[in-house]
Amino acid sequence: MDEFQIHCPVDEAQTDLPFPADELFPLLEHLKNNQSFSAQFPRGTVTADGRLDLCKQNLGVEGCRQVMQALKHNSSIHTLLLGTDGIGDAGAQMVAEVVAQNSTLHTLYLGCNHITDAGTALIAEALMQHDRIEALWLKRNPIGPQGAESLARLLEKTRTLKVLDLVNAMGDPSGIAKIISVLTHKNRTVRRLYLGGNNLTAHEAGLLAEMLQKNPTIEALMLNVGRLQDEGAAFLAEALRHNTTLRELGLASNGIGARGGRLLFRALRHHPTLQVLDLGYAPSTRVLGTSANTLTDQVTEDLALLLEHNPVLKHLNLARTGLTLRSLPALQEALQKNHTLQELQLEKALLLPLRPFLERNALQTSPGGLPEEVLRIRSVYRSKVL
């Protein structure tokens, strides 16, 4: 297997404050005064709904220290966004200390900060001792086996954690296996699990399949950008025949072919809860060295039957999966009978004739929208929510 690489521009912690200190002062005063109105500062943005957005603000360790000091007794901020800020393990320790003192925080977004096993352990310990964090986003940090062990212990003890994001953060298969094992046999709090970008193979798919059958709490399983291929899709498809609680499934860019696609569509034909299915093409496919899904027109019959019979599916991404205009007649016929699908991502020539059906459905059913846990981490400094 190719060497695991993390797609993050931060490869070490930034120790010194890399900008004039007075750029942080207005934000720090706002936080110390516990003000709750929206405001944008030279560094950072605060929203009226309680989110502190410091993504891509190049805080470094010293900037993080100053912000955490201002947050210790703040009761207005509930969501802390520190993505791509170069805070490292030292910054992670500071965040952990704030978690211990601030009872208002419930969402931590710490993606792409060069947080290693040591920092992960500090965060996990703080969350175990002060069990009130609902969402922990750690994507694109180099978390090894010891960090995975710390997170596994957290998952065994937590009663509040609902979101765990480890996208492109864990290159060690044994660490992934530990996380999945706890979610299979013990944890029943996590609802949204993000494991994409970690070179997952059919082996991990087998473990996840068991989790889907035994854990009724998981509502979103996001595995985009991996190496599941048809064998992994087959494991998941079999599990989905028995699962009745999953609402979102992300399998974009996993090298899944027609056989895997057919198995998935057959398994999901009568699934009672799945509203979002992503088999499309992820932006990080090439940089992480994975492959697009190549479903081709060979899946058309099973895809049409899925659309005709599934009663709840609202969003389906099949972009760049090899479907052509040959599939159009079957899809048109299926969508005539479908009254729930609102969003379908396909190549433009194939999608245009199908849009009237989607627009009709959108008028007849309530919009899906993004989950609240995902909306909380939207940033004015990032182009995408995730």
pLDDT digits (tens, 9 = 90+) for 237-264: 999 999 999 999 999 999 999 999 999 9
pLDDT at 382: 86
- 201 three-state secondary structure: coil
pLDDT at 362: 95
- List, for residues 337-361, the tens digit of each pLDDT value: 999 999 999 999 999 999 999 999 9
- 53 three-state secondary structure: strand
Residue 224, amino acid: N
Spans in the chain with pLDDT lower than 50? 1
Helix, strand and coil in the chain, % to nearest 5: 40, 10, 50
* Count of other CB atoms within 10 angstroms of residue 320: 20
pLDDT at 1: 46
pLDDT at 365: 81
Q: Are strands 39-40 and 45-46 parallel, antiparallel or unpaired?
A: antiparallel
21-364 belongs to CATH 3.80.10.10: yes
Which single residue is written with the structure tokens 């509203």? Answer: 275
pLDDT at 115: 99
Largest separation between any pair of C-alpha atoms in the chain: 63
Which single residue is written with the structure tokens 């929510």? Answer: 385
pTM given for the model: 0.97
CA distances from 369 to 240, 276, 304, 366 (A): 23, 11, 24, 9
Distance from C-alpha of 63 to C-alpha of 85, rounded to nearest angstrom: 9
Tokens of 109: 């977004």
- 107 three-state secondary structure: strand
Distance from C-alpha of 349 to C-alpha of 352, rounded to nearest angstrom: 6
pLDDT at 383: 75
pLDDT at 2: 62
Distance from C-alpha of 271 to C-alpha of 268, rounded to nearest angstrom: 5
Instruction: For helices 88-101 and 117-129, give the axis angle rounded to 10 degrees.
Output: 0
- Cβ neighbors of 355 (< 8 A, separation 6 or more) are none
